[in-house]
Structure 1
Amino acid sequence: MSNPALPPVVDTETWQRELDALRVREKAATRELDAIAAQRRRLPMVEMPDYTLEGADGPVRLVDLFDGKPQLIVYNHMWFEGEEWQCGGCTGFTSQFTRLEFLNNYDARFVIVTQGPIDEALACKRRVGNKMDWYSTANSPFGADVGTPPGGGFGVNVFLRDGDTVYRTWHTNGRGTEQLSHSFALIDLLPYGRQEEWQDSPDGWPKSPTYSRWSGSKEIAAAYGEPGA
């Protein structure tokens, strides 16, 4: 049985012409992203209090999360109290980051902070096979102060350290976090894209309810988690 949802079939010359036209827009988008990054580098910043979080080895100051580096990216992971399986979106997003050593060359570190108690957070990390360093803000106002209060959502925050003083330089949430992801970048290259109802696709293209194709925490644990964790 043939697939009815197919792009038009054309000759190579026509295909190249259409690709070249798209490339003009792609290059314009790249230049706009460069300009946005330049503006981001010029943002002012806000001095942060001296927060104390919890790590695998006990209490840790916010400045110590930098591990001596001047720059820090924090992903604030959603947390639902009492739940064995935490947010599938956060679990899937952070499972992508298995090799972060390249950030050393850029004087930076990337960690997870969650509202979950540290013992539960670390158990969750092992269960789903996450490779990042996790910290808890369960006993600190840090999460609430950077836009992710208990029972709240997720977000990304970036910090800059000058000695023992920490500054908040950037924040995003929602789909703003997609720019850190390689999964959607790959999926968006596919002819059918994300196959979600909201996407602008030709008539007849496969459509699914939003989020329905995302891997859940159980699936990620089965693929990456530690046996018996």
Structure 2
Amino acid sequence: MTALPPVVDEPTWREALAELRVREKAATRELDAIAAARRRLPAVKLPEYRLTAEDDSTVTLAEVFDGRSQLVTYHHMWSDGNRWQCPGCTGATASWTRPDLLSELDVRFVIVTNGPMDEVLAYKKRVGNQMTWFSSAGSTFGADVDAGPGEGFAYNVFLRDGDDVYRTWTTTGRGAEQFMLSFAIADVLPYGRQEEWQDVPEGWPQEETYKRWLSSKDVAAMYGDPDA
């Protein structure tokens, strides 16, 4: 039998929704306040890191901005020689197919990984990824921004002034969920993410965390060339 919430008449439903809306609006105001505080964070000036671009050229971190003043990087977990990389990273980056929509905000959004570029390009094709990738192999850049070899993923934000680059913000773990459309949609669904840690009514479907996440092979089968 399908798990259902209490079924009521429309006026009762609208009353309950209005009560929830008060909390939702309070959360929105708090997020606005956090964003305002984030815009007032100090910054750290970085050295001139050099990364490898997809055409195998070497570029400075300032050049990665491609003329824009702001840069967001997603640092994709990587294990050299592995055919399939982190499924969470693979699934997350598969969802960003039009990052140039951010161009009017004077920002570029790219992927950085510690893997060698030849493996990176093969993997990009295999899983059908449409982002622009850079490799920090041979550089301390990944480690210096909290995403070194053997470490986890991270988001980082940078600001450029000429050839000078400043690190302004970073997050990882559940702080990364604000970038994920799939989580935002799941959290407004009656059953939510259907993971065992979530607070749900009795009888709601729940499974162990990550069980419903796509594997890297799943992403390749949907969007890429799994035989590449």
* TM tier, smaller: over 0.9
Residues 12-23 of structure 1: pairs in structure 2 closer than 5 A: 12-23=10-21
Deviation, 1:227, is: 6.7
Equivalent AA in structure 1 for residue 112 of structure 2 = V
Which string of whole-angstrom CA distances, capped at 9 and with x for unpartnered residues, describes residues 64-108 of structure 1?
100000000000000012210000000111111001122110000
Tell me how large the CA RMSD over aligned residues is.
0.9
What is the SS of the residue equivalent to 1:18? helix
Q: Name the counterpart of 2:43.
A: 45
CA distance in structure 2 between the partners assigned to 1:227 and 1:180 by the alignment: 26
Residues 73-92 of structure 1: pairs in structure 2 closer than 5 A: 73-92=72-91
Aligned residues: 227
Residues 65-76 of structure 1: pairs in structure 2 closer than 5 A: 65-76=64-75
Which string of whole-angstrom CA distances, capped at 9 and with x for unpartnered residues, describes residues 126-157 of structure 1?
11011100001111000000001101100000
CA distance in structure 2 between the partners assigned to 1:83 and 1:174 by the alignment: 23
Residues 59-208 of structure 1: pairs in structure 2 closer than 5 A: 59-208=58-207
Residues 24-35 of structure 1: pairs in structure 2 closer than 5 A: 24-35=22-33
Equivalent AA in structure 2 for residue 121 of structure 1 = V
CA distance in structure 1 between the partners assigned to 2:226 and 2:169 by the alignment: 37
Deviation, 1:226, is: 3.6
CA distance in structure 2 between the partners assigned to 1:202 and 1:166 by the alignment: 49
Hey, which bits of structure 1, 4+ residues long, moved more than 2 A? 226-229
What is the SS of the residue equivalent to 2:75? strand
Q: Name the counterpart of 2:5.
A: 7
What is the SS of the residue equivalent to 1:53? strand
CA distance in structure 2 between the partners assigned to 1:178 and 1:14 by the alignment: 32
CA distance in structure 1 between the partners assigned to 2:195 and 2:182 by the alignment: 15
Equivalent AA in structure 2 for residue 152 of structure 1 = E
CA distance in structure 2 between the partners assigned to 1:228 and 1:206 by the alignment: 35
CA contact (8 A) 2:127 2:226 kept: no
**How many percent of aligned residue pairs carry the same amino acid?**
63
What TM-score comes out, normalization by structure 2 length? 0.98
CA contact (8 A) 2:195 2:209 kept: yes
